[in-house]
């Protein structure tokens, strides 16, 4: 009865295992004689609904198994009933604290054991059904998240002077590589939900580049040592952006996005950056994006290099020319190399901007985003209009977005304030806060964000350091909403 889920009996006594197997003969039963064997079964078989766990075993006892299941969230997916000696209240209480669903006592009562197991299996089936419904709803949510992430990533790529296909390639390759990886091994315990989250989050891998100066991003020659350090900082910036989100911190996409942003330039031998992680210290999400990012970077034309062929790129990765990768992932990459050639072949006509924009729309639609050309035209027009008027105005104008926390000014206005045109997490940036003589910038922004939607404009008189001179100013902001949620503010600073 696999559709009901399997039952894993973990007991060092063969006699006890045989008795329980006989009582539960209507179910599919697996037996393990110690905790180590039990964990191997749980990692390998996703259909285990219930574990009957003896607490006292010579090799890895039941409490150690429960601790492992809690640390790796297996306790959230698999119910556990402990096998206890009668009236062992202390052990039962400790086991409940570790998340068990119930207990059975020795000597076994067939009727009691069967009744308790049936109840838990019945609950398991209802939970599975509910999980299926939730997964469908979650998938729809991921599609919407995917749309917004792709738009944001496309904007970042456009600053880098790249075609915009890089993000699409990374997403596609991540999906292909994960699909082959889970067929080869259960080592990483990746569910379908995990794989979808990693695929969507892969688009965020270079989001930190939004804060890197364009002259470094688009430099046609080799970077200096100092410039290289600035470029490398994009991994920390991207991770910090996601880690500082005021909401959605528990979302899988955000969790995997953080791992990917921070560690996709780590290498399996420990010679990557920023933290020098080695081997399986590197989260698998970051490992996967790391190798596909290296492949696409090699096979794409950049301002500083020509593209390598598909065959050359694979050889370079195999020989460690781009750093050392997980041998299993290299094996997976070679398994899908024919798919890569067919799916990611770039036509030479992409060099033509008009043709590229048309094809980009088709790629985005293929990914289920359904973005119209009108959306791109409106976005481009509004950005151009804002830039035009801000450059003509005598006032200082700025944008502040909540997610990611980013302050944006024109180059002219940034020069007046002696700060960068784009500043990540400005509320904790010392250069920004010191501009405000009364140290009221943080309070002002927070008051604006907390406004009720009907009162979406807010003004304040204060003192501000402009061109190293203290000026009396009036700051006015317009809060931008999506439904009831504040996305950020548009601000105007008038010198009085």
Same domain, 98 and 157: no
Dihedral, CA of residue 417, residue 418, residue 424 and residue 425, to nearest 10: -60
Decide if pLDDT at 21 tops 60: yes
Give yes or no for residue 365 having a pLDDT over 60: no
Which of 318, 337, 371 is the C-terminal boundary of a domain? 371
Q: Looking at the domain assignment, is residue 434 inside a domain? A: yes
* Cis peptide leading into residue 198 (ω within 30°): no
Name the band, by pLDDT with cuts 50, 70 and 90, for residue 358.
very low
- Domain-embedded: residue 395: yes
Do residues 364 and 380 share a domain? no
**253 and 198 in one domain?**
yes
Could you give the count of Cα atoms lying within 13 Å of 303 in the half-sphere of its Cβ? 15
Does the residue 437 lie in any domain? yes
Stretch 312-340: mean pLDDT, rounded? 93
User: Domain boundary residue among 348, 371, 394?
Assistant: 371
Tell me the residue range of the domain where 237 lies.
139-371
CATH code, domain carrying 103? 3.40.50.2300
Specify whether 354 is located in the same domain as 404: no
Same domain, 414 and 279: no
Q: Where are the alpha helices (DSSP H) in 99-201?
A: 110-159, 165-184, 192-201
Q: Does one domain contain both 216 and 309?
A: yes
Tell me what the mean pLDDT of segment 7-12 comes to.
94
The C-alpha R_g of the chain, in whole angstroms, comes to: 28
Give how many domains the chain has, as a whole number.
3
Q: Higher confidence at residue 370 or residue 416?
A: 416
Separation in Å, CA 468 to CA 415, 416, 419, 433? 11, 8, 11, 14
Residues 292 and 194 in one domain: yes
pLDDT for the residue 261: 96
pLDDT of residue 101: 84
Question: By percentage, how much of the chain surpasses pLDDT 70?
Answer: 76
Residue 436 has pLDDT above 70, yes or no: yes
- On whether residue 125 sits in a domain, the answer given is no
Q: In this structure, is residue 118 part of a structural domain?
A: no
Domain shared by 379 and 350, yes or no: no
DSSP label at 108?
P
Query: CB–CB of 259/284 below 8 Å?
Result: no
* Structural domain includes residue 122: no
Final residue of a domain: which of 108, 128, 150?
A: 108
- Residue 404 and residue 360 share a domain: no
Residue 325 to residue 318: CA distance in whole angstroms: 8
Evaluate whether residue 417 is within a structural domain.
Answer: yes
Domain check: are 200 and 92 in the same one? no
C-alpha–C-alpha distance, residues 57 and 73, integer Å: 22
At residue 150, the pLDDT reads 59
Is pLDDT at 354 greater than 50 in this prediction? no
pTM above 0.75, yes or no: no
In this structure, the answer to whether residues 241 and 171 fall within a common structural domain is: yes
pLDDT (mean) for 63-78: 88
Query: Is 151 part of a structural domain of the chain?
Result: yes
Q: Is the pLDDT of residue 144 over 50?
A: yes
Q: Are residues 364 and 411 in the same domain?
A: no
CATH of the domain at 445: 3.30.450.20
């Amino acid at each position: 009865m696999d559709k009901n889920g399997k039952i894993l009996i973990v007991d060092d006594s063969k006699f006890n295992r045989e008795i329980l197997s006989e009582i539960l003969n209507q179910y599919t039963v697996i037996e393990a004689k110690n905790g180590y064997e039990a964990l191997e079964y749980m990692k390998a078989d996703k259909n285990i609904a219930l574990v009957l766990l003896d607490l006292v075993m010579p090799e890895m006892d039941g409490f150690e198994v429960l601790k492992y299941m809690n640390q790796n969230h297996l306790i959230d997916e698999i119910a556990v009933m402990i096998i206890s000696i009668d009236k062992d209240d202390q052990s039962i209480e400790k086991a409940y604290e570790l998340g068990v669903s119930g207990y059975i006592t020795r000597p076994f009562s067939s009727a009691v054991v069967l009744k308790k197991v049936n109840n838990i299996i019945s609950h398991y089936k209802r939970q599975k059904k509910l999980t299926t419904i939730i997964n469908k709803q979650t998938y729809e949510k991921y599609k919407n998240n995917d749309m917004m992430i792709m738009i944001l990533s496309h904007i970042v790529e456009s600053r880098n002077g790249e075609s915009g296909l890089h993000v699409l390639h990374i997403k596609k390759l991540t999906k292909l590589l994960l699909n082959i990886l889970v067929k080869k091994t259960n080592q990483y315990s990746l569910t379908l939900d995990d794989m979808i989250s990693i695929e969507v989050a892969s688009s965020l891998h270079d989001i930190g580049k939004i804060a890197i100066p364009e002259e470094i991003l688009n430099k046609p020659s080799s970077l200096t040592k100092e410039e290289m350090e600035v470029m490398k900082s994009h991994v920390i910036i991207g991770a910090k952006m996601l880690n500082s989100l005021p909401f959605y911190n528990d979302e899988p996409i955000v969790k995997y996005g953080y791992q990917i942003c921070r560690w996709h330039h780590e290498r399996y031998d420990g010679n990557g950056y920023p933290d020098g992680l080695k081997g399986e210290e590197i989260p698998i999400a970051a490992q996967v994006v790391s190798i596909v990012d290296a492949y696409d970077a090699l096979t794409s034309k950049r301002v500083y290099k020509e593209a390598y062929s598909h065959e050359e790129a694979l050889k370079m990765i195999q020989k460690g020319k781009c750093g050392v990768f997980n041998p299993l992932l290299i094996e997976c990459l070679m398994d899908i190399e024919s798919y890569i050639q067919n799916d990611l072949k770039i036509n030479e006509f992409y060099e033509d901007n008009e043709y590229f924009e048309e094809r980009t729309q088709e790629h985005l639609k293929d990914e289920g985003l359904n973005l119209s050309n009108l959306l791109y035209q409106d976005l481009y027009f509004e950005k151009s209009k804002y830039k035009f008027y801000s450059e003509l105005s005598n006032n200082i104008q700025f944008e502040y977005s909540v997610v990611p926390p980013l302050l944006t000014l024109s180059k002219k206005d940034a020069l007046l304030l002696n700060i960068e045109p784009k500043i990540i997490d400005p509320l904790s940036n010392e250069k920004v806060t010191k501009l405000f003589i009364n140290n009221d910038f943080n309070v002002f922004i927070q008051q604006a964000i907390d406004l009720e939607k009907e009162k979406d404009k807010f003004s304040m008189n204060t003192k501000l350091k402009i061109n190293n001179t203290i000026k009396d100013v009036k700051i006015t902001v317009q809060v931008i909403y999506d439904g009831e949620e504040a996305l950020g503010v548009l601000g105007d600073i008038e010198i009085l």
